A and B are shown apart, each in its own frame.
Chain A
Amino acid sequence: MALLQISEPGQTTAPHHRNYAAGIDLGTTNSLVAINRSGQVETLPDSNNQHLLPSVVHYAEDSILVGYSALQLQASDPLNTLSSVKRIMGRGIEDIKSLGNILPYEFDGNNDSNVPRIITRQGSVSAIEVSAEILKILSKRAEQTMGEALSGVVITVPAYFDDAQRQATRDAAKLAGLNVYRLLNEPTAAAVAYGLDQQTEEGTIAVYDLGGGTFDISILNLSKGVFEVLATGGNSSLGGDDMDHAIAEWLIKQAGIEGDIDPFMLRQLLIASRKAKEDLTLQETTQIKLKELDYSISLDREQFNHLIEDLVNKTLRSCRRAIRDAKIEKEDIQNVVMVGGSTRVPLVVEQVGHFFGCTPLCDLDPDRVVAIGAALQADVLAGNKPDQEMLLLDVLPLSLCIETMGGLSEKIISRNSPLPVARAQEFTTFKDGQTAMAIHVVQGERELVTDCRSLAHFELRGIPPMTAGSARIKVTYQVDADGLMSVIAEELRSGIKADIVIKPSYGLTDGEVESMLRDSMSHAKEDIDSRMLAEQQVEARRVIEAIDSALSQDGHELLADDEYNSITTARDELEKLIPEATTEQLKKAIKNIEVISDNYVAKRMNASVQKVLSGKNINEVEI
């Protein structure tokens, strides 16, 4: 029996050809699915009326459990119950090591690929496969609710996710058999849920996302249908759980509990603390009862506010930094959107409102707002909203760069460029007779390649031998609407070409990628310094290269011995200086060598002019 939904005027589709498109918030701790039903966009509950699906997957002997049923087994069977895999999506084995012990799983040491695999009793699984299980449950829930298959989904990802992490999310969806219309940044989805994209043509929006264990602040700029991420910031280990801990510590002090607290007791304390925190959202005061200790105490909101003051202030400091990174003033922000369960705490709303000087948007359920925004966008992409042509465009989250001499990273496409995009830049050879060029594609905002994320290496071969600097190699970077990147390198004189399609290689650099953006800001000064040094080093090598090449051609011919020797001495000194000297010292040494070889350069010039002119009539010489 088909149960029908109400369509927009004129949008009734043929039976069995409905365009049901869902939005999925694939979270670190919890996931949700939302869909438009008869014009109402809502998150969908399971048969127990639970909207949230814990992002936990349990691998049992012969089945796979997802959600609450898996969560229950976490304590008794931790190695086969995987949670928080979002933290390792799109990461390489090296990255996992640098994450430390936050994920207590056994990783498979003998696999050839760079994708970390976790050992479970059903064999080893990657984060992509685990995420696919979560996506399968959510899409099945949506299909059961709508009574028909989904035509496509929009999945949300953090604004700071890089290409590899986004690609991993797409792969997970593909594995779950879903058609991904697009990925949407979480803060953008939240802004869409509040209809901010419909209200104004332009504006600046802050999205304050305080979840259970993470805090994210994003500054977005909306302009002509494009949400641009101006800055992101936050703290990957700050959230509502810390509030519970703050209350628990206070309880321990008040109840006079001394000595070591066993894990069971701690859990009881945290459960009681969490309940108190939730009670104080609506009540002014609450009674905390610890049955095990036969202890009871009342906590009022004022005292609670005092306990969490520091935590809230920490988030505001991140906000201040993000505003500075975005190069805007606090007053430029017209709207603040509240996301994440912990924004229900009255002090948070109050302080955020006070900080930004406007009333934060918190009418929608902060746990569901991201999924709702994704569903709205999914509906538009499925073609169900003829009068809303608004299509949010994706922007490049991090700049795409190329490695140049000296390990420098040269930006080809800068971050926040709307997709699709293509940009080209010309490069040249460094050495005489150079016939090949290695192209190293990297992603990131830092000035040195070692601080960026490596995406691909390839070579352009068969360049005809020419003097250094005369080859013209055009490198084109292209990113299509799906985020797939291709690079073409072409030597323009000979027409030889090489290209590569980049499936971002999962994780080649150490360190957390989410910090890349923040790092680029905080290391701006030293980055510029190291860039200038590297540039001088390259210049020094180029000078040495040129001198060597010239001297071997006509050094002894044109120069007296003492002249020749003073040039080679200066050259050797410069070479010795390269690895250790400062930018200024190198500059000086290069200048010095230029002065010394001035005479030689002039002689060479004369010699070559003579060569051209000798034996020729004045009329034969083209000027």
Chain B
Amino acid sequence: MAINLTEVAADRVKSFLQSRGKGIGLRIGIKTTGCSGMAYVLEFVDEVDDTDEVFESQGVKVIVDPKSLVYLDGTKVDFAKDGLNEGFQFINPNAKDECGCGESFTV
């Protein structure tokens, strides 16, 4: 079971955490909303829950709750640019179908 960040993504997360001034890592998860079933969650983490799984990828702590992990195992998180827009992108082998915008997916 693992979730990985690309080097670029990890660098960005580190710099965001640093400028935020607090936080121990990055929470990756899913929630059941969105236009096709589930949507990704991407948050700073100030406190780790007992049940959370913690991975280390490229020097960044990645925190995932066990329910989300089922749908996210093997996911790679990248940081991409598209014109002026830039942000994080999920490459999830579990997703069968994504909505046009890529913010939500079905398994």
Contact = CB atoms under 8 A, between A and B. Distances in A.
Contact of A4 (B16, B45, B89): B89
Nearest to A387: B46
Interface string A1-28: 1111111111110111000000000000
Nearest to B83: A144
Nearest to A14: B33
A7 B101 contact: no
Contacts of A11: 43
Nearest to A12: B41
Interface in B39-57: 39-47
B15 to A, nearest CB: 8
B103 A10 contact: no
Q: Among A4, A6, A146, find the residue whose CB has the most chain B CB atoms closer than 10 A.
A: A6
B84 A15 contact: no
A39 B31 CA distance: 21
Interface residues of A, number: 28
Contacts of B13: 6
A553 interface: no
A141 interface: yes
Interface string B16-42: 110110000011000101110001111
Nearest to B16: A38
Nearest to A5: B87
Contacts of A529: none
A548 interface: no
A1 B102 contact: yes
Nearest to B12: A38
A141 B88 contact: no
A15 B20 contact: no
A552 interface: no
B35 A15 contact: yes
A1 B98 CA distance: 10
B70 interface: no
A141 B85 CA distance: 9
Contacts of B12: 38
Given A6-B26, A40-B16, A1 B46 contact: no
A15 B43 contact: no
Contacts of A3: 80-82, 85-89
A193 interface: no
B104 interface: yes
Nearest to A46: B84
Interface in A117-168: 141, 144-147
Q: Among A2, A7, A147, find the residue whose CB has the most chain B CB atoms closer than 10 A.
A: A2
A146 B85 contact: yes
Contacts of A254: none
Contacts of A38: 12, 16, 87
A371 B47 CA distance: 32
A3 B42 CA distance: 11
A44 interface: yes
B43 A4 contact: no
A145 B16 CA distance: 17
A16 B35 contact: yes
A1 B82 contact: yes
A15 B88 contact: no
Contacts of B43: 6-12
A2 B35 CA distance: 13
Contacts of B90: 4
A15 B104 contact: yes
Given A12-B42, A15-B101, A6 B88 contact: yes
A39 B81 CA distance: 18
Contacts of B103: 2, 4, 15-16
A9 B46 contact: yes
B101 A1 contact: yes
Given A9-B45, A145-B86, A2 B16 contact: no
B47 to A, nearest CB: 8
A47 interface: yes
Interface string A348-366: 0000000000000000000
B20 A39 contact: yes
Nearest to B34: A15
A37 B42 CA distance: 12
A3 B85 CA distance: 7
Nearest to B45: A9
Given A9-B44, A40-B16, A47 B83 contact: yes
Contacts of A37: 87
A38 to B, nearest CB: 5
Contacts of B16: 6, 38-40
Contact of B85 (A6, A15, A145): A145
Given A14-B33, A15-B34, A145-B86, A4 B42 contact: yes
Given A2-B103, A3-B80, A4-B90, 12 more contacts: A1-B89, A1-B102, A4-B40, A4-B42, A6-B26, A7-B44, A11-B43, A12-B31, A12-B41, A12-B43, A141-B84, A144-B84
17 contacts: A3-B80, A4-B40, A6-B13, A7-B41, A9-B43, A9-B45, A9-B47, A11-B43, A12-B31, A14-B39, A15-B33, A16-B35, A44-B84, A45-B84, A141-B84, A144-B84, A145-B85
